[in-house]
């Protein structure tokens, strides 16, 4: 994974079908939301080829992963993996495991190509924790296209939903909350969805970034804003 040398593009195109998942890596969860809140000019959308093939609405399948370089390290990085949802063949043996909301199973769309090394076997370990965001009534899969600010809201809504299950041991929904508490115990919990209903989108993003725009550098804006140590996808991985 490499640091992107230029500004984030306005359009990030997702292929459909047999293609490795796109990923973004940041130093932590808060950095990820701050980045997405800043990049209002960026959106994720299907490729032209995907639109030509799929005649219905397309939805995003998101996997959250926290990783660290070795077991003794206290620094967990946040990675989100993204693909377009793909229907599970009805004839597939064990198809139900891809449709029952299991947060420990990668989506079917992730199995259509060779999996990245970090996701291989999808097994939690001392250096990796993974959570597949399920679809719920309160937090359904996001529809494409989606802007980065709305993606930030979706991710925080998924965390808020997980926290509501913090005392429920009958499902895996609380896993993301527990991952956050373990990997980022000092990070302030930010309830973006709640704030957006009360205060409007502008205040949401001020809350995400911890301050208003008064400290922004003059003459910068849109996608020329960069954020420390951010690692989006590397284009060669799509070849």
Element (H, E) at 43: strand 43-46
Residues 19-58 as b/e (b if ≥16 CB within 10 A, e otherwise) read bbbbbbbbbbbbbbbbbbbbbbbbbbbbeeebeeebeeeb
Q: Which has more pLDDT, 45 or 187?
A: 45
User: What is the pLDDT at residue 202?
Assistant: 44
User: What is the pLDDT at residue 8?
Assistant: 77
The model's pLDDT over 90-101, given as tens digits with 9 standing for 90+, comes to: 899 989 999 999
CA distance linking residue 18 with residue 110, whole number of Å: 9
């Amino acid at each position: 994974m490499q640091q992107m040398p230029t500004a984030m593009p306005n359009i990030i195109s997702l292929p459909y079908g047999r293609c490795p998942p796109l990923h973004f890596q940041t130093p932590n969860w808060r950095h990820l939301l701050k980045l997405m809140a800043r990049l209002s000019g960026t959106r994720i959308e299907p490729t032209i080829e995907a639109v030509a093939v799929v005649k219905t609405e397309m939805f995003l399948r998101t996997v959250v992963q926290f990783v660290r370089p070795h077991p003794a390290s206290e620094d967990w990085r946040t990675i989100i993996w993204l693909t377009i949802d793909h229907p599970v063949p009805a004839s597939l043996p064990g198809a139900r495991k891809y449709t029952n909301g299991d947060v420990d199973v990668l989506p079917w769309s992730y199995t259509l190509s060779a999996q990245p090394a970090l996701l291989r076997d999808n097994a939690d370990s001392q250096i990796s924790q993974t959570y597949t965001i399920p679809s719920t009534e309160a937090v359904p899969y996001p529809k494409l296209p989606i802007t980065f600010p709305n993606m930030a809201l979706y991710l925080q809504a998924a965390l808020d939903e997980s926290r509501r299950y913090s005392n429920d041991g009958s499902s895996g929904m609380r896993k993301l909350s527990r991952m956050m508490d373990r990997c980022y115990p000092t990070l302030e919990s930010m309830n973006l969805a709640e704030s957006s209903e009360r205060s409007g989108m502008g205040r949401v993003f001020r809350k995400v970034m911890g301050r208003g725009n008064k400290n922004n550098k003059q003459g910068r804006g849109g996608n020329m804003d960069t954020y420390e140590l951010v690692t989006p996808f590397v284009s060669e991985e799509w070849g």
